[in-house]
Structure 1
Amino acid sequence: MAVDVCDMEIPVYEGLHLPKIPTFLKDPGHTLTSIRDLMLGPDAIILATYPRSGTHWVYEMTEMLLKGKAEYCSNSRETVYLEGFSDLGQMHLYNRVVSTHVPFQWLPKQHVSGCGKIILVIRNPKDTAVSMFKIFNSSGYIKDTSFEDFVHEDFLGPKAMHGGWFEYNKDFLKKAATLKNQMLVIEYEKLKRDTKEELLRLARFLGVKGDNQLIADIEDKCSFNKMKEADKVVRDDNLMAETMRELSLNENVVVYRKGEVGDWKNYFTVALNEEFDKVYMEKMTEIDFIPEYE
């Protein structure tokens, strides 16, 4: 009889609460150590994001820029999701884009020390919280939980995965201040507002030529509606569905929901918003970074 994922204990390693995915449920220490010890290729790029921060979007843009063509990847970013592998042997010397949600301390140490490129995508934590709540509900990962309870317990509270949005991004932002040529920080809101300029900035970071036509084509192909449609008709991998089945979750999870900026205003009460802002100011005092609350 299948075990209900909601009844499973949250995997914890070295005080870090982790998502309930098969590799972490089985052996979180092995999974994290394997990622840290992974030897990627010299041209590999790590795409690091807190969950629901625009991972698929930026993965697609980065791959298009590297290929020099505005063509969708037939395989989704789940095929290069590092913590999704029980055995990372196949990723040894992998020389393209890899994706992860693990904190900075667990990134492949050889890649970090060897000046390998890292892209951090950061999104307004309020919109991130709404997006996480919605996908967790649609997948069956959480049940009978109100949005306010989710924010208190699963986003701000002790259940927050990967140390929580604040600790996760704060650590990356501190490192970005010293790894200026190695790490690129992309703000979700700026990418939405001025996609062309952010694509040009990404191209410069990648060291690839992004001519006006290519940038225009990528901007068009990576519009939210076209990405959402492509996800239905272009992808040919079944990795996410297999993982969801393994956890007895809804395998038809909605990855592309709205992609909007400011949707949090439809979910946060005045009191919850004030409480959230107070936590933000307390947690991010050391960082000169304020996400755009549009």
Structure 2
Amino acid sequence: MDLSGAQQKAEVKTVKFTDPDGQKLPLLTIGYAKVFPIKGLQENFHKLQDLKFKNDDIIVTAYPRSGMHFIWEIVHMLKQGSSEYINTDKEIEYLEMFYCNDVASKSDRVIKTHLPPELMPTDYMNRKCKFIHIYRNPKDTMVSLYNKWTNAKELLGYTGTFSGFFELAMEGHIEAGNWITFELKYEEFFKINPNVRGLMMSYEDFKLKPISSIKKLSEFLELDRDDDIIASIANAMSCSTMKAAKLPEDNMRDWKDWFTVAQNERFNEEYKRRMKDSALYSKDVL
């Protein structure tokens, strides 16, 4: 995977992708990659390569709707040694909004991004920052991403059905592109860059095995947190506590209420064909 100069070579433009029903979904395309059309990003994206990382940076990467903000919150709790929710704008450390927030100047950063690895600023090669990559059941991810776009249809302009969105997703014409391509690229990224300190974990592990998952994350971050703190964070990030605090929280396996039998069979066929040799392969997806 050639990461050098990928951003400078990539043409940035706005493209509207049309689903089978004629509904249009607007995205920014950066080379092959597709990103959410954040205001100002098209004009400022190529400046991203100039962003400098710091040795103590923690970088959370994920496909959209995979639990990135959920993990970002847990990382901050581990760093501060308490289960208090972070009382700041969740977009404040969002890499794609570097030009209108304080990511560049802030210290002690937990940076989050949906960018594929080849579009990341390459300065991390010179640093000792840590990468945490979170992945989630792709079917739940697709449903959540569809709801994100249609719940904000007045802002985002997409009013299509899930059937139409499914076709766009299978073609890779949605935010972040095809899920399988995205995840395989990150898997390859860690394999060919053994000096990068990285950890790949699933969103489902944090929901089903919160204590052991948060402990594993704490050890990776080299933070000495006792069992009481780990348990307190796990409780704070549980479904019931987050719901009571009116924080957004996605359920698992909601996809069964959305996918038709034919859509499920079609997705499973591609998943098994392309993911069969991946360490991320899981029968729970099928």
Normalization by structure 1: what TM-score? 0.80
Partner of 2:8: none
Structure 2 counterpart of 1:145, which letter?
Answer: G
Partner of 2:180: 166
Q: Distance in 1 between matches of 2:241 and 2:89?
A: 15
Q: Distance in 2 between matches of 1:64 and 1:176?
A: 26
Q: Secondary structure at the match of 1:184?
A: strand
CA pair 172-90 structure 1, distance change in 2 beyond 3 A: closer
The alpha carbon displacement at 1:87 in A equals: 4.8
Structure 1 counterpart of 2:203, which letter?
Answer: Y
Partner of 1:21: 38
CA pair 198-180 structure 1, distance change in 2 beyond 3 A: farther
Q: Give yes or no for contact 1:40–1:93 (8 Å, CA) kept in 2.
A: no
Partner of 1:245: none
The alpha carbon displacement at 1:201 in A equals: 0.3
Residue 281 (structure 2) pairs with residue 281 (structure 1): no
Percent of counterpart pairs with the same letter? 27
Q: Distance in 1 between matches of 2:30 and 2:158?
A: 25
Residue 215 (structure 2) pairs with residue 200 (structure 1): yes
More deviation in 45-54 or 103-112? 103-112
Q: How do 1:61-210 residues align onto structure 2 when only pairs under 5 Å count?
A: 61-87=74-100, 90-92=103-105, 94-140=107-153, 141-153=156-168, 155-178=169-192, 179=194, 182-210=197-225
CA pair 107-231 structure 1, distance change in 2 beyond 3 A: farther
More deviation in 75-84 or 9-18? 9-18
Structure 2 counterpart of 1:37, which letter?
Answer: D
CA pair 42-115 structure 1, distance change in 2 beyond 3 A: closer
Q: Distance in 1 between matches of 2:201 and 2:195?
A: 13
Structure of greater relative contact order (alpha carbons < 8 Å, 6+ residues apart): 1
Normalization by structure 2: what TM-score? 0.83
Q: How do 1:204-283 residues align onto structure 2 when only pairs under 5 Å count?
A: 204-230=219-245, 256-257=248-249, 259-283=250-274
CA pair 278-7 structure 1, distance change in 2 beyond 3 A: closer
Q: Distance in 2 between matches of 1:215 and 1:43?
A: 22
Q: Distance in 2 between matches of 1:167 and 1:228?
A: 33
Q: Secondary structure at the match of 2:99?
A: coil
CA pair 176-8 structure 1, distance change in 2 beyond 3 A: closer
State the number of aligned residues: 261
Q: Give yes or no for contact 1:72–1:230 (8 Å, CA) kept in 2.
A: no
The alpha carbon displacement at 1:8 in A equals: 7.9
Structure 1 counterpart of 2:225, which letter?
Answer: G
Q: CA RMSD in A?
A: 2.4
Partner of 2:285: 293
Q: Secondary structure at the match of 1:265?
A: helix
Cα deviation per residue 1:229-265 (whole Å; 9 max; x = unaligned)?
4456xxxxxxxxxxxxxxxxxxxxxxx25x2221111
Q: Name the structure with the higher strand share.
A: 2
The alpha carbon displacement at 1:93 in A equals: 6.0
Q: Give yes or no for contact 1:83–1:100 (8 Å, CA) kept in 2.
A: yes
Unaligned runs of 5+ in 2: 1-15, 17-22
Structure 2 counterpart of 1:190, which letter?
Answer: D
Q: Give yes or no for contact 2:92–2:102 (8 Å, CA) kept in 1.
A: no
CA pair 180-124 structure 1, distance change in 2 beyond 3 A: farther
